[in-house]
Structure formats: C-alpha cells, structure tokens
Structure 1
C-alpha cells in the first residue's frame, strides 16, 4: 500500500498534504460538461476514485453519469460536504476563474488539465495558492495515479502496475508508454505524476523528489523529460545527497534544436519564474544529468534494464 503517497507539494506541510490527497478522495469536476471532463469520468470512477460532484454553469440541478451537477462550487460543497480536490476541465481562458472559485470555497488541491492556459493566469493562481496554502498540479497536467488504488486525470490505468518506482513526468504524454514498458518488464510503480506541459507549473520536480526521498514504498525514481519542454533539466535541482537511485529518460535526444517562438505575455510571465520558456534542448538536459552523475537511458527498454539492476 502506498499510504504515504499522493497529491502535491508546495508548502512546509507538503508530505502531510500529499498523504491527504491519497486518503481523502472526494473529487469535484469543474466543467463537467466539457469534452475533457467527460473523457475522464468513466476511467476514474472505474478505478475507484470518488467523483462526488460536478460544476457547470447553467446545468445546476441536473445529473451527468449519475453525478450531481451544480452551478457553483459553493453549492456543490453545501450539498456533498467538503471536497478535497478539484479537477479543472474548463476551456483554457476560464481556468483562472474556475480555480479561484475553488480556492475561495476552501478547496486546497487543484489539478489544471487544460493545455494553453495563459501564463499570466497561471502565475496569478500560483501566487494565490501560496497565500492560501493551496497546491496546484498543472497547467496541462494529465494527473496522477497510485496503481491499484487511485486515479486522478487522464493517465491510462492499463499501463500501470503497483510497485516501487516513482515516476515524475514532464513530457507531452509519453508517461503511459514508459509505464507500460516497465510493467511489461515486471517493474511496478508506487506513483506516477504528470507535472504538466505549461510554461509555468504549480508543483515541480523538487516537490516530488522530496516526497520520494522520504517515502518507504518508493525505492527508485524515474524522471521523464522532453526536448524543448521546460527550460532546464531536473538534474539541476536534484539534491546531491538524494538517497535513492534516479534514472532519467529524455525524449527527442536526436531532434534538431529549434527554439519556440513565444508571445510577449508568455515571455513576461515566464521570466518572473524562469529565464526563458521551453528552450532547454534534449542535448542540454542529457548533459546536465551526466554532470550530476545520473544515468540517462536512450530507450525505454534500457530504462527498464537499468531499473532492474538497482531494485
């Protein structure tokens, strides 16, 4: 049982909040009538996740897939009791308003699933989250899974199996394929989390590394990164005395460099947090890992082989 795992870290009580994420599973779907939300309802509920309510303006008083729907978050809480986590599935330009509504209603864990959320909106949310003790996963996050226990978001549960490898994924959705390769090799996972594809993120590599460092059920950690996604390698934030084996896989190691073009608002917002958005190449990431003496697998099979050596 991965009873110490789950959730998010961004506060001094990070591990306690992560524990709460797994043990208290009352989930709200904001934007429940959106196609994104409707694709995750059945898999989440089929995996045992308790989706207690949905919010969709103009649909209050109805039900969708037997889930009660409300116009406002506070109405949902009044009807079903305190909610632990909200999964936000509204269109990108509505994410900030939806998340701020959830925070105002007392929900302290948010998953922002939509891609292309305006960076300034995400920055506003992160600042508000810090002020209220709220933790955020995303934007552009596919969620997290504790195999055989809990699914939150759009990860494919068929690819995962229970075990002792923690996965932190900062790619454009290759985590399922990597997990499947590990599962086929008999290597299960303690938890897998997709940080998101946004230029600015709520929780990041250091938050989850801290969790895995102290979790007795995680014996090794896999870091997944991608060419031109993010602006620096996770290797640059790994503590030198990290107590467990870490192996990385960087997708796109043989792709040519082509820096993305960012609009002015994105550049301004991201530079408040990072130097430049999405400019770190696979070559730079691999070099950073090697400098930190962390092995970088060139194929998923090699990743599985190396994990079998250290477990």
Structure 2
C-alpha cells in the first residue's frame, strides 16, 4: 500500500524560489524527499542550490516554466504548492492539467470557490489534492535501511518521530505536531494534515480508508475540530468498515457559536458543527475521544499496548 504516494517518487515544488518554498524545499530534501525540480515561469532555466547535510554536499535543483515542462523532464508524480493565495488556483490548475498524480497545497487563505473548482476538476481526472491550508504529508520509511528515507511533502517536522504502527490524520497542523510528539516513542507509518478549510481535497474518510488498507498501520489517531460534519462522516464510515482501532481528539469545546476559530472552516453555525456533536457521533461509533491531546495519546497508547482504554 502506497499511502497516497510511493516511496522515492519524483516531486516538484511550485513556488520553490520564494522564501517559504526555498526554506521548506531544503527541509524536504534533507528529509530524503526526491525533489527533482521547481516551477516558476519568471526563473525558468535557472538552478537553485540546496545543501544536503547528510552528504555535506550541494545539490542543484532546476527551475522549469510550467508543471507540464517539469513533468516531461523529470517524470514528477507529486507537486507541493507554496504560492500566495491569489496565485493558488492557477497553480493547482496547472498541476492538474499536467496530470500530476498528487498535489499538496500548503497555502492558506485561498477563496473557497477556487478550491471547490480545482477539487472537482481533480476528482474528474482521478488526481488527488491534499489541502489546502494544511501541513502536508509525512510518510515514514518502512524499514530501518539507511537508504530508505520516506517522503516529506510540506511543512511537517520530520525529525521528531520514527517509523512505527500508527497512522495520524488531522485537520489542524499544530495539533498534528503535538500528537506526533506525544506518540513519538511508538512511531508512525504516515502523518497527514488534511487542512481546516470548508472544502478540502482529501477528507478524513479518505484518510481512514488509506490507513485501513495499509498492512503496516495498526491503529489511527484522528484529530478534528469544530465546524462542518467531516468527523460525523468519518465516524459513520469507521463504524461500518474500519477494523483497526481509532482514537480521536476534537478541538473547540469552548468555542462560542458564530465565531471563527483559526481555520476558515472552524466555526459553529446554526447550532451545528459543535465539538460535542462530533464527540457523540464518534463515541457512538466506538471511537474513544480524549478530553485533551495528552489524554487522546494515552488512550491510543493503551490500545496499542493491548489494554482497554479508560476515558
């Protein structure tokens, strides 16, 4: 099971020559990601130099004018997008039209209509989008072989966890990192941030489907938040189809109605989308919900260790 993308897949970065793109491309390269090019029509034909700590050598990454040109030259299968919101729709459309198989959109503040248009087009073409407004995807190596580096697409810190039997999916970037740290001694197969916008390219349900099908994933941590009904949908799917244990944490129990809390989609409106509603749905599906991130981690730890979780 590839968990969204096969190991060592060639990756391009749209917006690689900007400050954020440069910073995180360097991080991704040092994490072992096989980055083969950047995309910026104004700097096409240039190269950007990155230092690889492990080898203490510099690596020159070429810049291409378009995604299609980059794919033709490199065989790229994934793209990570670091561009300002006003350019994000064009960047997504360019990657979709180039038939890039996986598009990870880090940018926040993208108009919902732009995201909806691109997500629908991607679905029609069988292309997966992760995000927007997300930390991305971290896949840990399947073996202890030093040549197996896994893959890091986005801004998730890779040095705080090792390989293990857990999967993690989250609507919150910060809570992704916190739960990774809480469970670092057990380790992960993959950590995925789906994003907190009202419309995202990959849902909690789709993430659970991937983890359920992955032989190396034995249990899953799911982090939700107020707003929308993604957690209720995930609870319903898990109740019918999930054979592996899932533990959840829901952020926003004290959030006032009508006030947006962080993410664009994190808002209780008309009495719907409350943390309590989500907690009820998850627990009815047999998914324990921690009152705090630390308690959620402890619940999953007890399950992995063969015990019965005590909420």
Q: Secondary structure at the match of 1:74?
A: helix
- Report how many residues are paired: 280
**Aligned match of 1:16:** none
Is the contact made by 2:239 and 2:285 (CA closer than 8 Å) also made in structure 1?
A: no
Corresponding position: 1:62 with 2:46: yes
**Aligned match of 2:160:** 159
Is the contact made by 1:232 and 1:280 (CA closer than 8 Å) also made in structure 2?
A: no
Residues 295 and 163 from structure 1, CA distance in 2 versus in 1: closer, same or farther, beyond 3 angstroms? same
Give me the CA root mean square deviation: 2.4
Q: Secondary structure at the match of 2:183?
A: helix
Q: What are the Cα deviations for residues 226-275 of structure 1, in whole angstroms up to 9, with x where unaligned?
A: 234x444232442434201111011233x2323246xxxx99xxxxxxx9
Q: What are the Cα deviations for residues 34-81 of structure 1, in whole angstroms up to 9, with x where unaligned?
A: 233122112110111011100112111111222111222222234x33
**Aligned match of 2:246:** 246
Where do 1:133-212 residues align within 5 Å? 133-148=126-141, 149-183=150-184, 186-212=185-211
Q: What are the Cα deviations for residues 264-290 of structure 1, in whole angstroms up to 9, with x where unaligned?
A: xx99xxxxxxx9799622222212222
1:188 to partner: Cα distance: 0.9
**Aligned match of 1:226:** 225
Q: What are the Cα deviations for residues 197-220 of structure 1, in whole angstroms up to 9, with x where unaligned?
A: 221011111111112112111111
Q: What are the Cα deviations for residues 103-138 of structure 1, in whole angstroms up to 9, with x where unaligned?
A: 222212111110111111111111211221111111
Residues 40 and 237 from structure 1, CA distance in 2 versus in 1: closer, same or farther, beyond 3 angstroms? same
Alignment partners' CA distance in 1, 2:270 and 2:32:
37
Alignment partners' CA distance in 2, 1:27 and 1:145:
13
Normalising to structure 2: TM-score of the pair? 0.83
Is the contact made by 2:3 and 2:214 (CA closer than 8 Å) also made in structure 1?
A: no
Alignment partners' CA distance in 1, 2:212 and 2:21:
33
Is the contact made by 1:28 and 1:83 (CA closer than 8 Å) also made in structure 2?
A: yes
Is the contact made by 2:203 and 2:230 (CA closer than 8 Å) also made in structure 1?
A: no
Is the contact made by 1:213 and 1:242 (CA closer than 8 Å) also made in structure 2?
A: yes
- Corresponding residue to 2:288 among 295, 302, 306: 295
**Aligned match of 2:69:** 75
1:25 to partner: Cα distance: 1.5
Task: Name stretches of at least 5 consecutive residues in structure 2 with no aligned partner.
Answer: 50-59, 142-149, 305-311
Alignment partners' CA distance in 2, 1:289 and 1:35:
40
Q: What are the Cα deviations for residues 146-180 of structure 1, in whole angstroms up to 9, with x where unaligned?
A: 22422111001122221001111112421011110
Alignment partners' CA distance in 1, 2:129 and 2:160:
25
Alignment partners' CA distance in 1, 2:271 and 2:120:
21
Higher-RCO chain (CA-CA 8 Å, sequence separation at least 6): 1
1:308 to partner: Cα distance: 2.6
1:224 to partner: Cα distance: 0.5
- Corresponding residue to 1:40 among 17, 24, 36: 24
Task: Name stretches of at least 5 consecutive residues in structure 1 with no aligned partner.
Answer: 8-20, 268-274
